[in-house]
Amino acid sequence: MTNAYDKTYLEKARIALGRMLDFAVYDLKYDIANFFELFLTSGVASKFESGDFHILVGMSGVEVAYEVLEKANVSVERIQPNYAVNRSKEYWTGWALAYYQWETGLHFSEIVRYIPIKEIMALYSPYHEMDIRQFVDKMNSLYKIAKPETNLKFLRQKANLSQRELAELSGIPVRTIQQYE
C-alpha cells in the first residue's frame, strides 16, 4: 500500500490534526462534525492529505484550525488556546484519523462519507489504549461494511448498466466482470 505522504511528516501531522480538533471543540466551541466539514470544504484537508509540508509541519494544530476558518471565510477573534493536561477524545480522533488517512491514502472526505467523524470518535474506548494498527483494522472493517461494492460496481450501476450490458459494451466476459465486482 502506498502511503499518502512521506513518513517523516507523520507524527507531526497526527499531532496537528489532533490538536486542531481539540482546539476547535474546546476553545472555539464548534461541534466536531461541523468543524470537520469546514476542514473538508476549506481545502485544508486536501493540502493535508496530499502532504503539503506547510500544513503538516509548518503549522501547529491551533494554526491549522485558524487556517480552516480563514479559508472557509469564517471570521473569528483569535484567542489564547487552553492546553489541557490530558488528551481529549477529539484529540485522539484527529491523531488516529491522521494515521489512518496516511496509511490508506484515502481522502478524508471519502473516509467520513462511510464512517462519520462522530463514529470514529466513538472508537476512543477501547482503541485509544491499543496499538494504532488495531484501530486501522477496525476502520478498514467499518469501511468495508459501509462500502461493500467496488468502484466498478458503483460506476456500472451509476451508468444504469447490467453486468451483461457492460460485458457486451466492453468485450469482457460477464464472468470476469463478476469476479472484479
* pLDDT tens digits in sequence order for the chain, 181 residues long: 578 789 999 999 999 999 999 999 999 999 999 999 999 999 999 999 999 999 999 999 999 999 999 999 999 999 999 887 788 999 999 999 999 999 999 999 999 999 999 999 999 999 999 999 999 999 999 998 998 777 788 788 888 999 999 999 999 999 998 888 8
How far is Cα 128 from Cα 89, in angstroms, rounded to an integer?
Answer: 9
Helices (H), 1-43: 10-22, 32-41
CB 64, CB 20: distance < 8 Å: yes
Q: Which of 12, 14, 17 is nearest to 36 (CA)?
A: 17
DSSP string, 113-157: HHS-HHHHHTTHHHHTTS-HHHHHHHHHHHHHHH--S-HHHHHHH
What is the structure's pLDDT at 1? Answer: 57
Each residue of 113-128: pLDDT tens digit? 999 999 999 999 999 9
3-class SS of residue 164: helix
How far is Cα 92 from Cα 6, in angstroms, rounded to an integer?
Answer: 21
How far is Cα 71 from Cα 160, in angstroms, rounded to an integer?
Answer: 38
pTM score, whole prediction: 0.82
Q: Which helix (H) or strand (E) holds 176?
A: helix 174-180
- DSSP secondary structure code for residue 24 in this structure: I
Each residue of 66-95: pLDDT tens digit? 999 999 999 999 999 988 778 899 999 999
